[in-house]
Amino acid sequence: MKYNFIYALCTLPLMAMGLASCNTESMEADVVSSEKLLAGTTLDVSGSASTGNVIPVEANCGWKVSSDVSWITITKPEAGLGNGSGNVVFDVVESMLSTEQTGHLTIKTDGGMPRIVTITQRAGNIWLRVTPSSLYYTYEGGNQSIQVVCNSAYSVTSSAEWLKVDDETSLTAEGDKTFTIHAEPNNNPEGMTAVITIADVDHKADIVTIPVEIGSKNPMLTLTAANDVPAVGGTVTFGVVSNFEWRATITQLQPQGDAQWATFNAGTMQCSGEPSGEPAPVVVTVMPNTSEAERVVTILAETQSTVGINKTQQLEIRQAAATAPVVYTPYAASVGMTEATLSFSATSSSFDITRCGIIYSTNSENVRSGTRIEGTINGENATATLPNLQPGTIYYATAYAISAVGEAYSEVMSFKTRLTPGRDSNPTP
């Protein structure tokens, strides 16, 4: 059988251990002295299952070994009974816990002082979380921090010599810690990239990689595209990537109008930001456009470098024109001698319809100057009842709908009121 000999923290003191009170008359003091074994000897094992873990024992008499936990099983010596120098061999069951656990192996003679070895098993359910997810440095380099949250031991490694983790390119740690990530100045004409890798020692959690970028002395500026804005307004976001501080200014609104209908999220016409290797979001708030013409916002961004020629870039954001409601020709749902109910539908793609109804007249040439009756809206459908009509008379009607854009009308229809009461409806002259 192939054994795993455990050396960390314990092998040397255990190899020199003698178990007292076997036969004190025949023992050499430098072999059996209890001071040879350090108090509080500990072993660290993985959260995974392991077999054949070995603790060497030196003795010149009989001894026994026992475990106080169920997840540690002693496989040798048989029945836990040894005689003279030999090995304690034990297996460890995989941990299902999210925290470490401890157990103890007690090695002793019948009347001697027990030697206790503490076995610490790392967590079986490993979590590893790191923030932030990326780092960016200007060409000067400098220090930034990452926070590692982990319930086990792990390694933190840099892929480049110019990037150090607590002054090292690789180190190991355990538990929740903050690390200083130091980047040396970049004297190259181009930016450089590297990676910080964090991995738990038991390889149970996903490896975390943090991309790191350091900019060059040459100013760089990139603006990501912004989506168009609907007529109802809202917010739109674009991104700024720069290796220097930058400033963005709304330079033009077309049409200008009487108010600043587009501003940055703070209600200003100018904003600024820090260097970043990832697009830094910039939010523009756009007021509703109730006109039937498109509007355009022009934004100029510029780097704020003191060591090179600043870069500028321009961006346009377009806002859609508003559309008036579409009103469909009404029809007579019922017609009596002095009253008629007309039904119609209306839709709007920009702004909600706030009011609608019927305009009617006996004059076909000037219907919109006739009498207005406000209707009842139910979704896109509406009805209106026209009162005080004259019997046997032809009327002309158009439906109307009002939104923030204005008022829209349907085509004109006509109906004729009855001369006498009856059940028939919807007569058409």
Is the residue at 426 inside a domain? no
Is the residue at 428 inside a domain? no
Considering the domain architecture, whether residues 133 and 225 belong to the same structural domain is answered as no
pLDDT value, residue 198: 97
CA distance 250 to 284: 10
Is the residue at 421 inside a domain? no
pLDDT value, residue 19: 41
pTM of the model: 0.63
Considering the domain architecture, whether residues 77 and 175 belong to the same structural domain is answered as no
Is the residue at 45 inside a domain? yes
- Distance linking the first and last C-alpha atoms of the chain: 108
Considering the domain architecture, whether residues 109 and 8 belong to the same structural domain is answered as yes
Is the residue at 110 inside a domain? yes
> Which helix (DSSP H) or strand (DSSP E) does residue 4 occupy?
strand 4-5
- Tens-digit pLDDT profile for residues 135-181: 999 999 999 999 999 988 999 999 999 999 999 999 999 999 999 99
Q: Are 313 and 221 in contact (CB under 8 A)?
A: yes
Is the residue at 388 inside a domain? yes
Judge whether residue 111 has pLDDT over 90.
no
pLDDT value, residue 9: 34
Considering the domain architecture, whether residues 312 and 333 belong to the same structural domain is answered as no
Considering the domain architecture, whether residues 405 and 312 belong to the same structural domain is answered as no
Considering the domain architecture, whether residues 360 and 411 belong to the same structural domain is answered as yes
Considering the domain architecture, whether residues 109 and 138 belong to the same structural domain is answered as no
Is the residue at 423 inside a domain? no
pLDDT value, residue 96: 81
pLDDT value, residue 4: 55
Considering the domain architecture, whether residues 116 and 15 belong to the same structural domain is answered as yes
The tally of domains found in the chain comes to 4
Q: Is 32 helix (H, G, I), strand (E, B) or coil?
A: helix
Domain termination residue (choose one: 276, 292, 319): 319
- Tens-digit pLDDT profile for residues 13-65: 333 344 444 543 333 322 333 333 334 477 888 888 889 998 888 888 888 99
Q: Give the residue numbers spanning the domain of 159.
A: 128-214
Which one-letter DSSP state was computed for residue 218? S
Q: What is the mean pLDDT of the chain?
A: 87
Considering the domain architecture, whether residues 148 and 112 belong to the same structural domain is answered as no
- Tens-digit pLDDT profile for residues 296-338: 999 999 999 988 789 999 999 999 999 999 999 999 999 999 9
Considering the domain architecture, whether residues 225 and 209 belong to the same structural domain is answered as no
Domain termination residue (choose one: 195, 214, 233): 214
pLDDT class of 343 with cuts at 50, 70, 90: very high
Domain termination residue (choose one: 196, 214, 232): 214
Considering the domain architecture, whether residues 89 and 133 belong to the same structural domain is answered as no
Which tokens belong to 379? 């979704």
Judge whether residue 350 has pLDDT over 50.
yes
The CATH number of the domain where 367 resides is what?
2.60.40.10
Considering the domain architecture, whether residues 61 and 143 belong to the same structural domain is answered as no
Contacts of residue 60, defined as CB under 8 A and 6 or more positions apart, other chains included, come to 18, 22, 23, 26, 27, 31, 32, 84, 85
Q: Is 420 helix (H, G, I), strand (E, B) or coil?
A: coil
Is the residue at 109 inside a domain? yes
